[in-house]
Chains A and B, each alone.
Chain A
Amino acid sequence: MTRPTPRELLGRTHPLQGLLGRSLGIGLLVALPLVDGNAYHIDVLTVAWLYALLALGLNIIVGFAGLLNLGYAAFFAIGAYSYALANLQWGMTFWVGLPFSALVAGCAGVILGLPAIRVRGDYLAIVTLGFGEIVRIVVTNLEPWTGGPNGLLGIAGPVIGGLDFGVTSAPYYWLAFALVVLGVWMSQRLMRSRMGRAWMAIREDELAAQCVGIDTVRVKLIAHGCGAAIGGLAGCLFAAKQGTITPDSFDFILSVMVLAMVVLGGLGNPVGVVVGAVALTVLPELLREFAVYRMLLFGLTLILIMRFRPQGLLGARQIGRELKVRGAPAR
């Protein structure tokens, strides 16, 4: 851990961000599967960590660099299918598959980023939406390789020293949680790095960023690549956990849900988007007792939260301020 600078100390008052709170929170969450014997709880939270990973990846693209993306599920799909195919065809193990999926998805992110450099805002959202749909439909229709709508079966899970993860959820819980903690840590480091500041600069004012010498093309491509790589990582973990993947796991609704998690949790705040992901995964489960009204209530909750906290649950302080003063005289 690096020592916080005085500026950070002044800017950060959230108790969870203190070192003590951080280790306590992480410790509690690591110990949870040992304390809580309920496999259902652990399973739901494992899914939540998976979503949190996706949200962290999308947060780099949308939250840091301000590039709206509505096709993020594509990178999740690319990661999942690259590990699944590599595992089934070449017998690639999970631990090799993890970086491999991230690499393939990251490259896909850069390739999508190249043509998308020319469009901005809502138009970028539509291009990425189109890309997401294209990936899903291509995967559905390339039956000889991807198994078409039936998907791929028998994907191997991770093995550590002869211990197969099998179908138990606790090891996946720890693995996914470890990746989330790593992701949050990396995001926070990135945010304060030269690259992170460049991303925020193009998010706030692309022209001004260009004028102070930021290579906007390169910076945008790196944002797409990094975000997509994390999506690929999550995809690999998902494929290994499920053992089978089908194209309908990667539809537009998923892209929308992950975006909702990022916005709800607080754009640009890595801890916030994890909270958003957990909230939006756990909430439908809590509403399960309302049976058929579940998704209806879920939609209403989304509307209400946004209505009363448009900056998200843990909106990045900085972003909130920037968004509010836009158009008003700056202090």
Chain B
Amino acid sequence: MTPHAVFLQQLVNGLTIGVVYALIALGYTMVYGIIQLINFAHGEIFMLGAYLGLTVLALGGVAGAGGPAAIGLGVVGGLAAIGGCAVVGWLVERVAYRPLRQSPKLAALITAIGASFVLQNAAMLCYGARDRYVPNPFPVSQWQWGGVAMTGMQVLIAAVALTVMIGLQWFIRATTLGQAMRATAQDPVAARLMGIPVDRVIAWTFMIGSGLAGIGGALFGIYYTTINFHDGYLTGLKAFTAAVLGGIGNVPGAVLGGLLLGLLEGLGAGYLSSQWKNVLAFAVLVLLLLFRPRGLLGERVAERA
């Protein structure tokens, strides 16, 4: 491979994982934007999405790429991941966050950690502690342009993520619920005075964010072919840094942050070593925060601890 092709290949690989980070980061950023809380259980919801996708594929008896039936089951798996994760997200909000809305913020951080333990161990109990193989129900295809390979899965991930993100942007801008979300994020008290059911809006925010993480998880599982109950933690952490990178609370910022982090990792893995790529991601994050604390697209400086 020519150096040029190597660079492009790393770019493609990096962007693919970056898109997944962006999907998860959206959930972090939406929740933070609306109640200024770091939802530490979000990474686990992403991991559950991968498992839910796997469950549908396993129940349907999909072992690998097949005909329309397998593709159909793949789509159903994705939808199940969205739905299932939305329900779990709602439940987590209801049990771990809503009762603590008037409490010190650190208390909510601890319940978030508790919820994360619960989800992780529930997944381990249901699916076992070992890596589980996730079959790919979609036809395996690959395109080549001048030495750069792109798999069908990469195209699918990009397409799904793009659709979802555009849909989300439309949803936040154009629908009544989206408007209510923006109002609540701006000023919860005033929003309540205007007759917005703030608690319900917050619940919806959790559900939408969790659904996005769910589809991200389902795609991630198929792309990497295995899933483990530990996977939510590091991926969640990175998606969170992506959200901060873009400016937490800012929806386009989360997408930008995710893509940048993915690119950085892809190029870091290609040119340095894959061992050091995690340091690179965190070092850039720390440096960025020091020189531009509100992130790339962040509008306001959040200081509430």
- Residues of A at under 8 Å CB distance from B? 62, 66, 68, 115-116, 118-127, 129-131, 133-134, 137-138, 140-141, 252, 256, 259-260, 263-264, 267, 292-293, 295-296, 298-303, 306-307, 310-311, 323
A139 nearest CB across to chain B (Å): 11
Sample (30) of A-B pairs whose CB atoms are under 8 Å apart: A62-B106, A68-B106, A121-B302, A121-B304, A121-B305, A122-B32, A122-B36, A122-B38, A122-B305, A123-B244, A125-B305, A126-B289, A131-B286, A134-B286, A256-B113, A263-B107, A263-B109, A295-B117, A295-B120, A295-B121, A296-B117, A299-B117, A299-B121, A302-B113, A303-B96, A303-B111, A303-B118, A306-B107, A307-B100, A310-B100
Contacts of B293 in A (CB 8 A): 118-119, 123
Residue of A120, A298, A302 most packed against chain B (CB within 10 A): A302
Total inter-chain residue pairs, C-beta < 8 Å = 138
Contacts of B275 in A (CB 8 A): 137, 140-141
Given contacts A296-B121, A306-B107, contact A260 B278 (CB under 8 A): no
Size range of the interface on B?
Answer: 35 or more
Given contacts A126-B285, A296-B122, contact A264 B110 (CB under 8 A): yes
Interface pair B114/A303, CB less than 8 Å apart: yes
Q: Which partner residue on chain B sits nearest A301 by CB separation?
A: B114
Partner of B248, one of A122, A129, A260: A122
A154 nearest CB across to chain B (Å): 25
Interface pair A299/B115, CB less than 8 Å apart: yes
Interface pair B305/A68, CB less than 8 Å apart: yes
B2 CB within 8 Å of chain A: no
Interface pair B276/A134, CB less than 8 Å apart: no
Interface pair B110/A120, CB less than 8 Å apart: no
Q: Which partner residue on chain B sits nearest A116 by CB separation?
A: B290
Interface pair A130/B285, CB less than 8 Å apart: yes
Q: Give the complex CA separation of A306 and B228 in angstroms.
A: 29
Interface pair A302/B117, CB less than 8 Å apart: yes
A320 nearest CB across to chain B (Å): 9
Q: Which partner residue on chain A sits nearest B41 by CB separation?
A: A299
Contacts of A119 in B (CB 8 A): 289-290, 293
Q: Which partner residue on chain A sits nearest B116 by CB separation?
A: A299
Partner of B305, one of A66, A131, A137, A306: A66
B175 CB within 8 Å of chain A: no
Contacts of A303 in B (CB 8 A): 95-96, 111, 114-115, 118
Residue of A121, A122, A264, A292 most packed against chain B (CB within 10 A): A122
Contacts of B121 in A (CB 8 A): 292-293, 295-296, 299
Q: Give the complex CA separation of A293 and B283 in angstroms.
A: 37
Contacts of A307 in B (CB 8 A): 99-100, 111
Q: Which partner residue on chain A sits nearest B294 by CB separation?
A: A123
Contacts of A259 in B (CB 8 A): 106, 109-110
B108 nearest CB across to chain A (Å): 8
Q: Which partner residue on chain B sits nearest A114 by CB separation?
A: B290
